[in-house]
Amino acid sequence: MTRKAGPSAFSERRFHAWLSRDARRSSQIPLPLGDDAAAVRLRSGRLGLLTTDALVEGTHFLAASPPAAVGRAAAAVSLSDIAAKGGRPVALLLDLLLPPRTPVGWARSVTAGARAEVRRWGGELVGGDTKPSGTRAVVGTILAEADPGRLAPRGAGRPGDRLILTGSAGRGGAAARALEQDGPTPAVLRGLLHVEPRLFEGATLVRYAHAMLDTSDGLGEAARLLAQASGVRAELDLEKVPGHPSLRAVPAGPERERALFFGGDYELLAAVPPGRVGPALAAVTAVGGRAQEIGGLRRGSGAWLRRRGIPTPLPTGGWDPFGWALTHVEPSQSPG
């Protein structure tokens, strides 16, 4: 089952804040440390994007999870970061950290899944590494290309911008709740790993947006990060946030709202000037995507949620890799 762990000695956000204090900025490094992806200007004048992410057994997937789905997700979560900068994937490096007794078929299926996912978007698996480990983990690193003038850094939102969300919110939260309610059924295990990187939508929105990031850690967390980085106040209108169809299985009220903001959706949240909202939404539709306006940015600070027009601070929560765990114990893993 999913559970909230106790207070963690390690905070990803605090670690990022420490790391960024000594980060150097230059014309060769146009995105600040901590954005969805890193950007480096190449000698040819082109712009390269780099991002990496890890899936760890017990935190992101279970032993019974289909290995091909684990591989697809390992590629897709990094591809989602590339989408948030409007990038075009070129190459994937895949690292497998495996207990020595891991069946070779598991590793091959993971690799095949990752290769299929990156090829789907025009990239290629070009290498990686394998190392022994006490816990299985899969690390995907993506190299991509981007337009130097269109990066939509998360710190570039401006007062007056409108907030646009692709797709819907709550799919990840509903999947986590399904694990709690139904256990690790095949459908639940696939749902936990379902990631659809919004590369077409990102390449489109980056032409209109001041700022953009993905909602991997939850829509509320994305709004907080954008507001903090841009020095503005973000406001979401609860009635405008499109809920994923799977939320219908979650009781209405606080439980459904928690699922709505839980995370694992991998959609895009973009800050767009008000005069460009209509063209941006039309452009997303033209590439086969869905998006809608769900709020805006104002002078001030913090992230707020409007319920029937009344603003309250956005609920705390969202995905925390150091605070959540998948704790269902499968029969093959039972002690004794």
For the record, the structure tokens of 282 come out as: 């039309």
Q: Rounded CA gap, 35 and 4, in Å?
A: 26
Same domain, 178 and 91: no
Q: What is the CATH number of the domain that holds 110?
A: 3.30.1330.10
In a domain, 232, yes or no: yes
The 3-state DSSP class for residue 57 equals strand
In a domain, 111, yes or no: yes
Amino acid at 48: G
- Nearest-angstrom CA–CA distance, 259 and 90: 34
Rounded Cα distance between 54 and 169, Å, is 22
Residues 166 and 296 in one domain: yes
Please give the Cα distance from 266 to 260 (Å, whole number): 13
CATH code at position 262: 3.90.650.10
Q: What is the dihedral of CA 243, 249, 250, 256, to 10 degrees?
A: 10
Which residues span the domain enclosing 120?
Answer: 2-150+324-333
DSSP symbol at 66:
-
Q: Based on the fold, state whether residues 133 and 179 are members of the same structural domain.
A: no
Residue 271 lies in a domain: yes
Q: Would you list the DSSP string of 123-178?
A: -EEEEEEEEE-SS-EEEEEEEEEE-TT----GGG--TTPEEEEES-B-HHHHHHHH
Q: Are residue 113 and residue 196 in the same domain, yes or no? A: no
Does one domain contain both 243 and 328?
no
159 and 145 assigned to the same domain? no
Distance CA 179, CA 246 (A): 13
pLDDT value of residue 282: 98
Using the Cα atoms of residue 309, residue 292, residue 255 and residue 229 in order, give the sign of their dihedral: negative
Q: Are residues 247 and 138 in the same domain?
A: no
Same domain? 109 vs 202: no
Per-residue pLDDT of the chain (336 residues; tens, 9 = 90+): 355 555 555 565 665 566 566 655 555 566 776 676 777 777 666 789 999 999 999 889 999 999 999 999 999 999 999 999 999 999 999 999 999 999 999 999 999 999 999 999 999 998 888 999 999 999 999 999 998 889 999 999 999 999 999 999 999 999 989 988 888 898 888 888 999 999 999 999 999 999 999 999 999 999 999 999 999 999 999 999 999 999 999 999 889 999 999 989 999 999 999 999 999 999 999 999 999 999 999 999 999 999 988 999 987 666 666 665 564 434 333 322
166 and 265, same domain (yes or no): yes
- The reported pLDDT for the residue numbered 245 is 95
- Same domain (yes/no): 191, 124: no
318 domain residue, yes or no: no
* DSSP tag of 67: H
CA distances from 242 to 139, 292, 308 (A): 31, 8, 15
Quote helix, strand, coil % in the chain, to nearest 5. 35, 25, 40
Gap between the Cα atoms of 261 and 247, Å rounded: 11
Residues 6+ apart with CB under 8 A from 290: 166, 167, 168, 284
Per-residue pLDDT at 226: 97
List phi, psi (to 5°) of 84: -70, -15
Establish if 319 belongs to a structural domain: no
Please indicate, yes or no, if residue 166 is contained in any of the structural domains: yes
Flag whether 13 is in a domain: yes
328 and 291 in one domain? no
pLDDT at 331 (0 to 100): 38
Q: How many separate domains does the chain show?
A: 2
Residue type, 250: V
For the chain, strand residue ranges (E) read: 2-4, 38-41, 47-56, 88-98, 124-132, 137-146, 162-166, 211-214, 233-237, 268-272, 291-298, 303-307, 310-313, 324-326
Asked whether residue 116 falls in the same domain as residue 167, the answer is no
Q: Are 176 and 192 in contact (CB under 8 A)?
A: yes
Specify whether the CB–CB gap between 224 and 233 falls below 8 A. no
Are 307 and 260 in contact by the 8 Å Cβ rule? The answer is no
